[in-house]
Structure 1
Amino acid sequence: MHRQEILDHVRNIILATHTGLYPDDVNEFSSMTYDLGMDSFHLESMISRLKDEVANIEFTPWYIKASRRGHDTVGSLVDFIDERQPQPQDANVTGDEASLGDGLEALDSEAA
C-alpha cells in the first residue's frame, strides 16, 4: 500500500470513528487531539480498526511519541504505518533476475 492510500484509509477511519468532522477537516497536518478534537476513545477506536484493516502493527511507540504536543498529526500516523509495512521484495528480485536472465541469454546467443 502506497503512502497516499494509507493517508486516504486513515482519513476514512477517522471520519468513521469521529462523527461531526468533514473530509476537509482531516489533512496530513491536522493534530488529532487539538484540531480534530479526538479523545482517547476516538484514538483507541481508530487504532483498533487500523490494526484490523491495514496492518498488524504495534502502535504503542506512536502513542508515546504522539503524546507530546504537536506530534499527533494524521501525517505522523501515516508515516508510522508506512515505515512498518512489509516491503514487497519479490518484485525487486524478479525484476533483477529477469534483466540478468535477458543479458545471459543475449550473451549465449552471441556466442553460438
Structure 2
Amino acid sequence: MHRQEILDHVRNIILATNQGLFPDDVSEFASMTYDLGMDSFHLESMISRLKEEVADIEFTPWYIKASRRGHDTVGSLVDFIDERLVRNAPAELPEGRATHLSNAEPRELDVEVA
C-alpha cells in the first residue's frame, strides 16, 4: 500500500468517525485534537477502524509520542502506518527464486530412531 492510499484511508476514516468535519478540514498538517476537535472516543474509534481496514498495527507508540509532543497530525499517523507496513512486509525473494520454490517437491527425511 502506498502512502497516498494510506492517507486516503485515514482521511475517510476520520470523516466517518467525526461527521462534523468537511473533507477540506482533514489535511496532512491538521492536528487531530486541536484542529479537528477529536476527543479520545473519536481517536479510539478511528484507531479501531484503521486496525480493521488498513493494518493490524499497535498504535500505542504513535499515540504516546504524538500526544506528548502535540504532533498528533494526520500526516504523522500516515507516516507511522507507512513505516510499519514497510517494516512488516515480507522480504521479496530474488527473481526466479519463487518459481523454483513453488515447483519443488517435498523430500523425505532420513531419520534414525535409537
* 4+ runs deviating over 4 angstroms: none
- Cα distance 1:88–1:3, how it changes in 2: closer, same or farther (>3 A)? farther
Distance in 2 of aligned mates of 1:55 and 1:62: 14
Listed as ranges, the gaps of 5+ residues in structure 2 are 98-114
Partner of residue 54, structure 1: 54
Cα displacement (A) at 1:56: 1.0
Q: How many residues align?
A: 95
The whole-number CA distance in structure 2 between the counterparts of 1:8 and 1:70 is: 22
CA distance in 1, matches of 2:56, 2:84: 9
1:93 matched residue in structure 2: 94
2:110 counterpart residue number: none
TM-score, length-normalised on structure 2?
Answer: 0.77
Stretches of structure 1 that go unaligned for 5 or more consecutive residues are 99-112
Q: Counterpart amino acid of 1:24?
A: D
1:60-71 aligned at under 5 Å gives the runs 60-71=60-71
Aligned to 2:102: none
Q: Deviations over 1:36-93 (max 9, x none)?
A: 0000000000000001111110011011011124310000000000000133532x62
Identical-residue share of aligned pairs (%) = 82
Higher share in helix = 1
TM-score (normalizing by structure 1): 0.79
Whole-Å Cα distance in 2 between the matches of residues 62 and 4 of structure 1?
19
Residue type of the alignment partner of 1:70: G
Distance 2:67 2:43 in 1: 12
**Counterpart residue identity of residue 64, structure 1:** I
